[in-house]
A and B are shown apart, each in its own frame.
Chain A
Amino acid sequence: MELEIWNLKNNPKYLTWLLAVAGLGVLLLFSMVVSLTLGEMNIGLLDALKMIVGSGDPTSIEYMLVRQVRLPRIILGLAVGGSLSLAGVILQGIYRNPLVEPFTLGISGGASLGVAITIVFGLHLTFGSFVLPLSGFLGAFLIIFLVYTISSRSGAIDIQRMLLTGVMVSFVASSAMMFLMSVSTSENLHGIIFWIMGSLDEPDTSLIWLTLISSLVVLLLSYLFVQALNALRLGEEKALHLGINTNVAVRILFILASLLAGICVSVAGVIGFVGLIIPHLLRMVFGSDYRILLVSSFLLGGSFLILSDVVARTIIAPNELPIGVITGIIGGVVFIVMMSRKKTLV
């Protein structure tokens, strides 16, 4: 304990990190409050909190709105936003490439393909709507499996080869997807496009909890490999010189990050940019140390998606914009502003 106190006093880096995590936690709470209270119908915070704990009139519209619409969306927004950013920052770390995100590697392509096949063949009509996320996950899993096995050779994994394989597999999947779309009926086409655009609207609460739990588990597990990620910044061979076998870490992190992204895509559809922009913004602020990047990506990604969802559902209420539109526009603009500001500062 004495050790930690010393660190805070003498190493300002740790103090910055502590404040940053606290600040991002507050931001997350703020975004939750906004999402709970604002919308087509504004609800007071106290009333909303009462409804969450179960008091209030269960038959009122407000009660239904808070408990069945807003709360699930907040939880899913946190889980998906946090997961996509976390997966993004992990993948960028193992590939030593800041432009990688979960979707560069074909994970979304695979999930979309799975869902498209299901819709075209009408499987969700026969078996029930749970088939959609399931087939999405299977599609993503298949792609992850392909990328992983193709780039593993004789026990060692070739990181650069893995990236190229991912990009190529992603192209193949998206072509297959376009083929399916070109031959499907307009009704199916609409279903596919609607799914691809992504949304935090998920009726199945158990899927929401599953996503949240997976994201927290991956966040915790990723910290077991945080020093490997840090060492990898120097390259695989130099990490080896520091006594760290990156081969194992890279494999496990790849599987964790891509499965997590696969779960998110199959539950919430393709929500782009989060996995790319959030880690980038944080790198500009904190540098490249993964000890702070992992947790801050999760927190900021979650807040960002929750707030984007508020915008998506209020801006043209009572209609709703696809959340991917909002993340793309807000995220992209904020990013460009940060970039240009940073240039003038340095």
Chain B
Amino acid sequence: MSANFFEIKNFSCGYPSFHLSDISLSLTRGAFAGIIGPNGSGKTTLFRGVTGALSTLSGEVLLEGKNLKNLSLQKRAQNIAIVTQTVDAGQITVEDYVLMGRLPYHSRFQFFETKSDLEIARKYMELTGVIRHKDKLMTELSGGEQQRAAIARALTQEPELLLLDEPTSHLDITHQVRILNLLQRLNDELGLTVLMVIHDLNLAAEYCNQLIMFQEGKIFLQGDPDKVLTFETIEEVYKTPVITRINPYSNKPVIFLVSEKMMRNR
């Protein structure tokens, strides 16, 4: 039963010039999965397909065995929350922004947030450490703080599955690790299932227990990080020479890049 908590079956979606083909993957409840692959390999496109921003060409997406197509948008938003690459919330206070995560639970005639809405929003602002900024405007926050607020907003939706599109891009290593540690804690403590697109292969190896490698709109390989992140697969998919070693601390694969000059002098 838990083997197919979230399942994508022979899925395809896309634009006239680019589309995904035959994507199949499944996550168990509580998985912490990463999608990797070069720019333009279809990672974000998959998210847009899952959320319904792009219409499905074929295949299906199932959450706990239920086809997403048959769920209302509201129900979907109660079960799946997504943090996109850019936040772009404008002149909204952090608290109001995070509270918007309760919208999927509001009926059309409910204009005001309830006590529990506010409590839930505050709980997750506390957890993500943005509560001290709650009265600031979103535009006044730094990139890392905006990303945290976006995660707080997503958590306020109280989803079963959290999708994140490059949550660590544009952040320094401190904030990268903080965000990923936070996600790991949520995954451990709340049992939240996480699926994120991530560019940094070392971070992907360190934090994810399942990796899905994309190449040109298809899944090239998926499985455990040490199976997916070998120098052969990386060189084939990224067309870049790398060396892989094992992190002596975590026993996870570590990837080193090699410059052109070093390759020549070898």
List residues of chain A with CB under 8 Å of any chain B CB: 3-4, 6-7, 10-11, 13-14, 223-224, 226-227, 230-231, 233-235, 237-238, 240-245, 283, 287-289, 291
Contacts and interface: CB of A to CB of B under 8 A. Distances in A.
A240 B51 contact: yes
Given A11-B118, A227-B103, A234-B88, 9 more contacts: A3-B114, A3-B115, A234-B89, A234-B90, A234-B100, A240-B51, A243-B78, A287-B92, A288-B90
Interface string B237-251: 000000000000000
B91 A288 contact: yes
B108 interface: yes
B112 A243 contact: no
Q: Which 4 A-B pairs have the closest CB atoms?
A: A243-B77, A243-B74, A243-B104, A243-B73
Nearest to B81: A241
A245 B108 CA distance: 12
Taking chain A's interface residues, is the majority helix, strand, or loop, or is none over half, making it mixed?
A: helix
Contacts of A289: 96
10 contacts: A3-B112, A7-B115, A223-B111, A234-B90, A237-B84, A242-B77, A242-B157, A244-B103, A245-B73, A288-B90
B108 A7 contact: no
B59 interface: no
Contacts, number: 78
A288 B101 contact: no
B113 interface: yes
B1 interface: no
A242 B104 contact: yes
B76 interface: yes
Interface in B76-108: 76-78, 81-82, 84, 88-93, 96, 100-101, 103-104, 106, 108
A233 B53 contact: no
B113 A7 contact: yes
Contacts of B65: none
A279 B53 CA distance: 31
Contacts of B77: 241-243
A233 B103 CA distance: 13
Most chain B CB within 10 A, of A6, A13, A223, A224, is at A13
A240 B157 CA distance: 13
Given A242-B101, A243-B74, A6 B112 contact: no
Most chain A CB within 10 A, of B51, B90, B103, is at B103
B218 to A, nearest CB: 24
A289 B103 CA distance: 14
Contact of B52 (A13, A240, A242): A240
Contact of A243 (B76, B111, B114, B115): B76
B47 to A, nearest CB: 10
Contact of B53 (A3, A240, A242): A240
Contact of B108 (A11, A14, A227, A291): A227
Nearest to B84: A238
Most chain B CB within 10 A, of A242, A244, A289, is at A242
A4 B110 CA distance: 11
A70 to B, nearest CB: 36
Contacts of A226: 111
A240 B73 CA distance: 7
Nearest to B157: A242
B115 A10 contact: yes
Contacts of A6: 115
A241 B112 contact: no
Nearest to A225: B108
A10 B118 CA distance: 9
Given A224-B108, A240-B53, A231 B103 contact: yes
Contacts of B108: 224, 227
A241 B52 CA distance: 9
Given A227-B108, A244-B73, A233 B115 contact: no
A241 B82 contact: yes
B16 to A, nearest CB: 13
Interface in B166-189: none
B87 to A, nearest CB: 8
A56 B89 CA distance: 58
A287 B226 CA distance: 50
Contacts of B100: 230-231, 234, 242
Contacts of B51: 237, 240-241
A166 B263 CA distance: 58
B93 A287 contact: yes
A11 B113 CA distance: 9
Interface string B17-52: 000000000000000000000000000000010011
Contacts of A243: 72-78, 103-104
A288 B92 contact: yes
Contacts of B111: 223, 226-227, 291
